[in-house]
Homo-oligomer: A and B are copies of this chain.
């Protein structure tokens, strides 16, 4: 079955849709009005792009779908739903059945794992990695080179239910491990590491390692040595480069250019 060429005849394409060169659209995907897709993007089967915002349920006749803009060379895997009213830089890559709501603004090279749920009205930097089943609450800010692992939730309501929204900030190069919850308004500092299963109620300092429920400071990331070979692991930009702009060159060399 030649699925990866052109626009599958079972797909539905709305008005005002703009497709770049060499775009592939899989079987039965829906592109609602005003979706803009860059060159060389590959959209899987059963994808919905430009899902209408809630306003359509109020007055379908008056509703006008805002643009959804996806940068070139992106991959959106099957079953994902991206709402109208968001913008993604080049090389977005999603897993399956991802949901991303309106008002999301993301840089280049964002990866979003299967089942992740980005609630919208949030800012995401460049080269951010969300693994499977990550939940990003509204008003979150996730800076460049952040890694968030499965089943992590960034919350936003300090007194649920309330009308107050205090988003989480995750600063650049920070790592949040599996099944952690970041409480509303918390700042997770640059180069920090949040251990698996942490309930983070207070700000995490630069280069701090925290763990536990509630999370407490354990040590500095510089105290962590590889279980494999005893070498330093963090800040990780000196030990890991796959898919990063400094791949094969070293972070310092790349940063000094």
Hey, which chain B residues are within 8 Å of A46, CB to CB? Answer: 46, 48
Interface size class of A (residues with CB under 8 A): 35 or more
Which residues of A (187-245) have their CB < 8 Å from a CB of B?
Answer: 196-197, 199, 211-214, 224, 226-228, 233-234, 236, 239-240, 242
> Which B-chain residue is minimally distant from A224 (CB atoms)?
B159
Shortest distance in angstroms between A53's beta carbon and chain B's nearest beta carbon? 12
Is A37 an interface position by the 8 A CB rule?
A: no
> Which B-chain residue is minimally distant from A60 (CB atoms)?
B4
Is A99 an interface position by the 8 A CB rule?
A: yes
Hey, which chain B residues are within 8 Å of A75, CB to CB? Answer: 57
Contact status B56-A4, CB under 8 Å: yes
Hey, which chain B residues are within 8 Å of A106, CB to CB? Answer: none
Contact status B163-A240, CB under 8 Å: yes
Shortest distance in angstroms between A230's beta carbon and chain B's nearest beta carbon? 12
Q: Is the interface of A mostly helix, strand, loop or mixed?
A: loop
Contact status B199-A199, CB under 8 Å: no
User: A79: which of B81, B155, B181 is its contact (CB, 8 Å)?
Assistant: B81
Selected A-B contacts with CB under 8 Å, 27 pairs: A1-B15, A1-B30, A1-B32, A4-B60, A5-B60, A30-B45, A46-B48, A51-B78, A57-B75, A81-B96, A97-B99, A115-B115, A119-B132, A151-B151, A151-B153, A159-B224, A159-B233, A159-B234, A159-B239, A160-B175, A160-B236, A162-B233, A163-B240, A164-B228, A179-B199, A181-B196, A213-B213
